[in-house]
A = this chain, B = another copy of it.
Amino acid sequence: VIRGEAQRVPCSPRHRPAGAGMLELPFLPFCALLGGLGAVCVAFVSAWCQRWRGGFAWDGSAQMFNWHPVLMVTGMVVLYGAAALVYRLPFSWSGPKFPWKVLHGALALAAFGLAVLGLVAVFSFHNARGTPNMYSLHSWLGLATVLLFSCQWLAGFVSFLLPWAPAWLRALYKPVHVFFGSTILTLAMVSCVSGINEKLFFSLKNGTTAYSQLPSEAIFANTLGLLILLFGVLVLWALARPDWKRPEPDSVDAHQVPAGASS
């Protein structure tokens, strides 16, 4: 009993300082709020392209470019955020982890697929009108983010989904995978904001006075940028919260000795 008590009271990962109880928040309502915010981001970027930028097509025109922001925000921010949060779902904590790994990998793969389509949209648009590719800081950063994401997905697939990786390699790679998960989302947020900013300067130029007079399009798309940041920061916050993390087999919680078990 002494050993069980000593483990549980002072050092459970759920132990937090006095007062922290007032900040308790259940995951599922937060998740619903986050889902709503993600849907608002997708609706905003689609409405921007539909109402002010001429809608959508897949023919090398400016309407083809419009798929770029929609697919990038939907894939690299919203779907990516959903993939990152899979292990925070409380009903994923008990039972086998494998199905949740498959869901995590599948959502990330879907996000990657949308990102690749988003890249095809912008490269096709540039190539069709003879605009050079890959010169702006936004383009360097955005491509680097998607490349990092592809490495992250492949390394995660090989290490955690295929059965051949030894336990020591999984243990070594896991904190790296977790850290790069948050980092890639951060880089996606930077890419989206720099891209929206750049697009508004391109679209509302007339000597850049039109953007500077804050027409409704500028207010709408600036707000979209802030909403993407809010969504991303909330995902990063949920990922960092210790008490929303899945208890791991080698953690204290999982090995908890029930009171009385050792007496």
| In the complex, chain B residues whose CB is within 8 Å of the CB of A229 | 141, 187, 190
Ordered by A's residue number, 27 sampled pairs between the chains whose C-beta atoms are within 8 Å are A3-B3, A6-B6, A6-B7, A7-B10, A10-B255, A18-B167, A19-B171, A20-B171, A20-B175, A22-B172, A23-B172, A23-B176, A131-B212, A132-B212, A132-B213, A137-B225, A140-B225, A141-B225, A141-B226, A141-B229, A144-B226, A179-B237, A189-B190, A190-B190, A193-B193, A197-B197, A240-B240
Residues of A at the B interface (CB closer than 8 Å) are 2-3, 6-7, 10-12, 16-20, 22-23, 131-132, 135-138, 140-141, 144, 167-169, 171-172, 174-176, 179, 182-183, 186-187, 189-190, 193-194, 196-198, 200-202, 208, 211-214, 218, 221-222, 225-226, 229, 233, 236-237, 240, 250, 252, 255
Q: In the bound complex, how far is the Cα of B202 from the Cα of A43, in angstroms?
A: 30
**Quick check: A193 and B190 within 8 Å, CB to CB?**
yes
Complex CA–CA separation, A138 to B225 (angstroms): 9
A148 to chain B, nearest CB (A): 11
- Bound Cα distance from A225 to B202, whole angstroms: 20
- Contacting residues, chain B, for A19 (C-beta < 8 A): 168-169, 171-172
Chain B contacts of A132 at CB under 8 A?
Answer: 212-213
Q: Closest B residue to A232 by CB, please name it.
A: B186
Chain B residues near A176: list those with CB within 8 A.
23
- This chain's copy number in the assembly: 2
Q: Is the CB of B10 within 8 A of A137?
A: no
**Shortest distance between the CB of A220 and any CB in chain B (Å):** 11
Complex Cα gap A20–B17 (Å): 28
A4 to chain B, nearest CB (A): 8
Q: Of B20, B198, B212, which one neighbours A197 at CB under 8 angstroms? A: B198
Contacts of A213 in B (CB 8 A): 132, 135
Q: How far is the CB of A41 from chain B (nearest CB, A)?
A: 14
A135 touches B20 (CB 8 A): no
Question: Taking A6-B7, A252-B10, A255-B10 as contacts, is the C-beta distance between A136 and B197 under 8 angstroms?
Answer: yes
